């Protein structure tokens, strides 16, 4: 799949490192700031560590979308994201994703090295669809019930998997009609979903393959893992890897994570097992029963 100037094989698992350049993200907010100011060298160092650990994609976010998060202005997002995007584009040969719903940032990011627009609001914001189409970049459409400010206030579904699929299919159709040609989908773990919703969605993730688009998942350090493992945010790496392996075995092709090194190993194991199964099936002498 083409991501701006770079091509990536999304038929095999890829690891996307998370770069939250925000003061208030749920598990790493403020880590790249000092005295209230974003430290560009700290961002570059973290990106370098992720790339060296095997990340093929980096996702840059200038607005927290944690439960209850307060929206930031487009100008604040621009001021946070564009210098980082420019610095990373000149240093690293990886796909740079911009986590945004802002039409203005979508437009500006395309001119300084972005290869993917990753929108938790699925291009429903003002002008976002037209801006994304004009860039020619692929877009990841995510499902969310409600908004970051309200999404965890009693979310409800009759069938969470089918409702996620219907929402994503509707947005895919709108985006194609609007001129967006490269699409990925994200079921939105933790976005307007209870623990039970998340678990059902993970168990039945393969059903999203009906959309015939690459599936991106992001469960890294999320509350669903803490509820299961009983661990604080930064102690959830093992739980995140376990969940990601299940997702990759059920069709996920991009895993978004804070903890790149372990996730790269997990992705390589999944790919090795899948490749071995494809090469050796059917085994010699095997005949289909009638």
In a domain, 29, yes or no: yes
In a domain, 108, yes or no: yes
In a domain, 284, yes or no: no
- Residue 160 belongs to a domain: yes
Residue of 121, 171, 222, 236 with catalytic role: 222
Cα angle value 87/92/98 (rounded, 5°): 65
Burial of 232 (0-12, 13-18, 19+ CB in 10 A): exposed
Q: Which domain range does residue 139 map to?
A: 2-277
- Per-residue confidence band for 289, with pLDDT thresholds at 50, 70 and 90: low
On whether residue 285 sits in a domain, the answer given is no
% of residues, the chain, pLDDT over 90: 74
Q: Render pLDDT for 180-227 as a digit per residue (tens, 0 to 9).
A: 989 999 999 999 999 999 999 999 999 999 999 999 999 999 999 999
What are the Cα distances from residue 75, in Å, to 98, 104, 110, 251? 15, 9, 16, 37
Mean pLDDT of the chain: 90
pLDDT-based confidence at 149, cuts 50/70/90?
A: low
Residue 290 lies in a domain: no
Tell whether 83 is covered by a domain: yes
Concerning whether 256 is annotated as a catalytic residue, the answer is: yes
Which secondary structure element, helix H or strand E, spans residue 166, and what is its range? helix 160-177
Domains in the chain, number: 1
What is the pLDDT, as a whole number, of residue 145? Answer: 87
Q: How confident is the model at residue 74, as a pLDDT?
A: 84
282 assigned to some structural domain: no
CATH number at residue 106: 3.20.20.20
């Amino acid at each position: 799949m083409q991501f701006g100037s770079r091509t990536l094989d999304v038929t095999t698992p890829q690891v996307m490192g998370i770069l939250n350049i925000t003061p208030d993200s749920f598990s790493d907010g403020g880590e790249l700031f000092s005295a209230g100011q974003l430290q560009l060298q700290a961002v570059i160092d973290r990106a370098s560590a992720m790339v060296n650990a095997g990340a093929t994609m980096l996702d840059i976010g200038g607005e927290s979308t944690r439960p209850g998060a307060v929206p930031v202005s487009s100008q604040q997002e621009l001021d946070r994201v564009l210098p980082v995007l420019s610095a990373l584009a000149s240093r690293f040969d990886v796909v740079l994703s911009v986590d945004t719903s802002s039409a203005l940032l979508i437009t500006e990011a395309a001119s300084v090295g972005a290869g993917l627009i990753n929108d938790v609001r699925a291009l429903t914001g003002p002008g976002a669809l037209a801006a994304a189409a004009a860039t020619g970049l692929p877009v990841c459409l995510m499902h969310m019930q409600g908004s970051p400010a309200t999404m965890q206030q009693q979310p409800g579904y009759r069938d969470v998997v089918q409702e996620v699929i219907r929402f994503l299919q509707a947005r895919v159709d709108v985006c194609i009609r609007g001129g967006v040609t490269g699409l990925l989908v994200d079921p939105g773990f933790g976005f307007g979903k209870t623990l039970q919703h998340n678990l059902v969605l993970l168990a039945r993730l393969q059903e999203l393959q009906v959309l015939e688009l690459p599936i991106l998942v992001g469960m890294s350090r999320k509350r669903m893992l803490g509820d299961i493992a009983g661990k604080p945010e930064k102690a959830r790496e093992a739980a995140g890897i376990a969940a990601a392996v299940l997702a990759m075995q059920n069709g996920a092709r991009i895993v978004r994570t804070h903890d790149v090194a372990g996730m790269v190993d997990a992705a390589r194991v999944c790919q090795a097992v899948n490749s071995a199964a494809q090469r050796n099936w059917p085994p010699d002498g095997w005949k289909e029963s009638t």
